[in-house]
């Protein structure tokens, strides 16, 4: 079991939810993103400078709408 922190922020009118863990990502510890519905149009993924920190270096991704 891994301890996590969670936070929520509104940036330019979009609500983002942050989840962080106590261990860094490594070859044996991965991060996954799972959506119950359609994915959001914008996603941020980053790496914190230390455990349980909100000081993150990361990137925004634009996700195109699914065809159909």
Whether 68 is covered by a domain: the verdict is no
Whether 56 is covered by a domain: the verdict is yes
pLDDT in tens, 35-58: 888 888 888 888 777 777 767 778
So what's the pLDDT on residue 33? Answer: 82
Beta pairing class for 42-48 and 14-21? unpaired
Number of domains in the chain: 1
Structural domain containing residue 37: 4-62
So what's the pLDDT on residue 67? Answer: 61
Q: Is the pTM higher than 0.75?
A: no
Q: Return the sign of the alpha-carbon dihedral for residues 25, 33, 54, 46.
A: positive
pLDDT > 90: percent of the chain: 0
Whether 13 is covered by a domain: the verdict is yes
Whether 42 is covered by a domain: the verdict is yes
So what's the pLDDT on residue 68? Answer: 57
Q: What does the pLDDT average to over 3-18?
A: 82
Whether 19 is covered by a domain: the verdict is yes
Whether 36 is covered by a domain: the verdict is yes
Whether 67 is covered by a domain: the verdict is no
């Amino acid at each position: 079991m891994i301890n996590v922190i969670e936070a929520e922020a509104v940036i330019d009118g979009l609500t983002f939810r942050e989840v962080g863990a106590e261990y860094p990502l490594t070859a044996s510890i991965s991060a996954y993103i799972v959506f119950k519905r359609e994915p959001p149009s914008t996603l941020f993924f980053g790496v914190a400078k230390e455990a349980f920190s909100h000081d993150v270096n990361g990137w925004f991704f634009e996700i195109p709408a699914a065809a159909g």
